[in-house]
């Protein structure tokens, strides 16, 4: 009996090993070069992650580029994925041939995890319809209408920095900026005063932070869900933590109910969704559900506060290391604001061209979302090769790798805003800098994110001089378990009031 079991086990393992080997020849059979996978995890060991995923994909990019490849194959467990290297291929995927790559390939479970079914994740016709309806929220005109709300949040930011200056303490700058952007999004998205700058234990700050600090189990669930989405949905797998989901669903339900009962209206994101709900009901009887409204508010909240606070953090860090650049930007801020009686206005921040260069260089070195993905929705022939990318294949776009490619950015480790002068920008491939993505699925909130970033930086740099604090661990190392680029040990700065 024992020997029979051993024999069966050996036979099973032999068959399984053979299947893995056959599966790992998928890209070879398609005549696409690929990095050799290891049984059973392919090109990534999901149980022993020692580095941030963006760093790993940058290494894949560097290795493929060094061998002269235009693209390459990878494997996550048994699932093949495609890494794009050539920027013309990238342009085709993101824009020119977008009809083949309309979806991101993100896992979402509308039934069991309603907050996961937001604009960033959903695909197909539902994405097209929702994107079309939400796009008017982020026009220049709407940004102008929201601008005063941003300015109303700056006193809380100044008060926080003032208190650190008074106590002569180093500042966890990401935390302070996270409070600032959380208050902005709270007002612009929900019409609520979160007041996180004064309330240290604000639930919005707490649950927002939870959404961006996954556990190892969360990461494993995400990888498995993206590799085997049908199985994950059958098992009712959820990616949003239950306490986070319950909190935001209740906030949205309470806000919508209050506005509908009291006929209260406000020019903000949630009101647009309420209006869409009413319009759809009048036209075709199909209305946005509370869960669908909550999902859009949720992604606007977490994406809006985290990406902008991350960008401002790294701008201030680099300017703290280079006082000459900090002074140059401060001079521009003061010169421009002098035309507007010292006030930060919508028109003023549009005139700050060096500010744009500084932010773009920070987004190059520290893209908040350092990897993007697309899903091939129908078989696609690569234009200059006899290669077909099969339907349902995941395409990975290694933004961090592209942004550090010496072909486009000599000495990429050096912070140099002059890379983004008009002359230098025009001399590079237009897809060599894609911190917000590109094409029809470019970040819908890009204008809003840049606006709050500029308001925060202008407010801080006209009032304070920043230097790197002793608690900052240099050189910076990336947190392993973080969806956005975040420094291990945080970025600590010292501020001196001017």
Domains and CATH numbers, the chain: 2-497 (1.10.630.10)
Confidence of residue 140 (pLDDT cuts 50, 70, 90): confident
From the number of C-beta atoms within 10 Å of its C-beta (0-12, 13-18, 19+), residue 241 rates as middle
Confirm if 141 and 263 have CB atoms less than 8 A apart: no
Tell me the C-alpha distance between 383 and 360, whole Å: 31
153 has a pLDDT exceeding 90: yes
The average pLDDT across 371-392 equals 95
pLDDT at 416: 98
> Pick from 424, 374, 386: which is nearest to 123 by CA?
374
Confidence of residue 9 (pLDDT cuts 50, 70, 90): low
Q: In the block, which residue shows the tokens 């993007």?
A: 372
330 is written with which tokens? 């401060």
The average pLDDT across 2-11 equals 57
Confidence of residue 281 (pLDDT cuts 50, 70, 90): low
| DSSP secondary structure code for residue 138 in this structure | G
pLDDT at 10: 66
The average pLDDT across 487-491 equals 94
Confidence of residue 209 (pLDDT cuts 50, 70, 90): confident
The average pLDDT across 330-359 equals 97
pLDDT at 48: 66
Q: What's the residue count for the chain? A: 498
> Pick from 487, 156, 179, 151: which is nearest to 308 by CA?
179
Give the 3-state secondary structure of residue 385.
Answer: coil
| DSSP secondary structure code for residue 51 in this structure | S
| DSSP secondary structure code for residue 109 in this structure | B
Tell me the C-alpha distance between 401 and 403, whole Å: 6
Q: Tell me: the pLDDT tens digits for 412-421?
A: 999 999 999 9
Backbone angles phi, psi at 79, to 5 degrees: -90, 120
162 has a pLDDT exceeding 60: yes
Q: Which residue has the higher pLDDT, 197 or 148?
A: 148
Q: How many CB atoms are located within 10 Å of the residue 201 CB?
A: 7
274 has a pLDDT exceeding 60: yes
45 has a pLDDT exceeding 80: no
279 has a pLDDT exceeding 80: no
From the number of C-beta atoms within 10 Å of its C-beta (0-12, 13-18, 19+), residue 123 rates as middle
Q: Which residue has the higher pLDDT, 331 or 193?
A: 331
pLDDT at 134: 87
HSE, CB side, 13 Å, CA atoms: give it for residue 454.
27
111 has a pLDDT exceeding 70: yes
Kindly state the helix (H) or strand (E) to which residue 292 belongs, with its residue range: helix 290-321
Mean pLDDT of the chain: 90
The average pLDDT across 304-310 equals 91
The average pLDDT across 75-93 equals 95
433 has a pLDDT exceeding 90: yes
pLDDT at 161: 97
pTM exceeding 0.75? yes
| DSSP secondary structure code for residue 303 in this structure | H
Confidence of residue 192 (pLDDT cuts 50, 70, 90): confident
22 has a pLDDT exceeding 80: yes
pLDDT at 46: 65
pLDDT at 278: 75
8 has a pLDDT exceeding 70: no
183 is written with which tokens? 């208050």
Give the 3-state secondary structure of residue 113.
Answer: strand
Lowest mean pLDDT among 60-69, 212-221, 222-231, 293-302: 212-221
Tell me the C-alpha distance between 354 and 356, whole Å: 5
HSE, CB side, 13 Å, CA atoms: give it for residue 387.
19
> Pick from 31, 54, 52, 56: which is nearest to 43 by CA?
56
| DSSP secondary structure code for residue 390 in this structure | P
């Amino acid at each position: 009996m024992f020997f029979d079991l051993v024999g069966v086990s050996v036979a099973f393992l032999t068959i399984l090993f053979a299947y893995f080997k056959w599966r790992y020849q998928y890209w070879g059979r398609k005549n696409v070069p690929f990095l050799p996978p290891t049984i059973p995890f392919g090109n990534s060991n999901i149980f022993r992650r020692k580095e941030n995923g963006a760093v790993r994909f940058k290494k894949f990019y560097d290795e493929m580029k060094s061998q002269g490849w235009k693209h390459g194959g990878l494997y996550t467990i048994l699932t093949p994925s495609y890494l794009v290297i050539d920027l013309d291929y990238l342009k085709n995927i993101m824009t020119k041939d977008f009809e083949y790559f309309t979806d991101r390939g993100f896992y979402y479970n509308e039934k069991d995890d309603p907050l996961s079914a937001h604009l960033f994740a959903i695909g197909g016709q539902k994405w097209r319809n929702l994107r079309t309806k939400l796009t008017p929220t982020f026009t220049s005109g709407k940004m102008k209408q929201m601008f005063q709300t941003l300015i109303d949040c700056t006193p809380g930011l100044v008060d926080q920095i003032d208190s650190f200056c008074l106590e002569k303490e180093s500042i966890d700058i990401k935390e302070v900026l996270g409070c600032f952007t959380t208050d902005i999004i709270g007002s612009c998205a929900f019409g609520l005063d979160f007041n996180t700058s004064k309330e240290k234990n604000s639930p919005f700050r707490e649950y927002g932070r939870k959404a961006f600090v996954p556990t190892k189990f969360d990461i494993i669930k995400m990888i498995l869900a993206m590799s085997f989405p049908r199985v994950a949905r059958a098992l009712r797998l959820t990616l949003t933590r239950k306490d986070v989901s319950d909190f935001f669903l209740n906030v949205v339900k309470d806000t919508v109910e209050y506005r509908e009962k009291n006929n209260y209206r406000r020019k903000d994101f949630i009101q647009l969704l309420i209006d869409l709900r009413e319009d759809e009901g009048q036209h075709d009887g199909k209305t946005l559900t509370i869960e669908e409204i909550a999902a859009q508010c949720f992604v606007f909240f977490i994406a809006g506060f985290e990406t902008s606070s991350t960008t401002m953090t790294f701008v201030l860090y680099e300017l703290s290391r280079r006082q000459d650049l900090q002074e140059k930007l401060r001079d521009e801020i003061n010169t421009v604001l002098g035309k507007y009686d010292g006030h930060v206005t919508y028109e003023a921040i549009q005139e700050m061209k060096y500010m744009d260069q500084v932010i773009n260089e920070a987004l190059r070195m520290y893209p908040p979302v350092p990897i993007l993905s697309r899903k091939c929705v129908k078989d696609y022939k690569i234009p200059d090769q006899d290669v077909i990318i099969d339907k349902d294949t995941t395409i990975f776009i290694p933004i961090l790798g592209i942004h550090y490619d010496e072909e486009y950015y000599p000495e990429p480790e050096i912070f140099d805003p002059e890379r983004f002068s008009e002359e230098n920008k025009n001399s590079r491939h237009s897809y060599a800098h894609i911190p917000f993505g590109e094409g029809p699925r470019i970040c819908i909130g890009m204008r809003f994110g840049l606006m709050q970033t500029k308001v925060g930086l202008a407010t801080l740099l006209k009032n304070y001089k920043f230097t790197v604090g002793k608690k900052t661990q240099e050189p910076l190392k990336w947190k392993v378990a973080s969806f956005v680029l975040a420094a291990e040990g945080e970025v600590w700065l010292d501020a001196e009031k001017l």
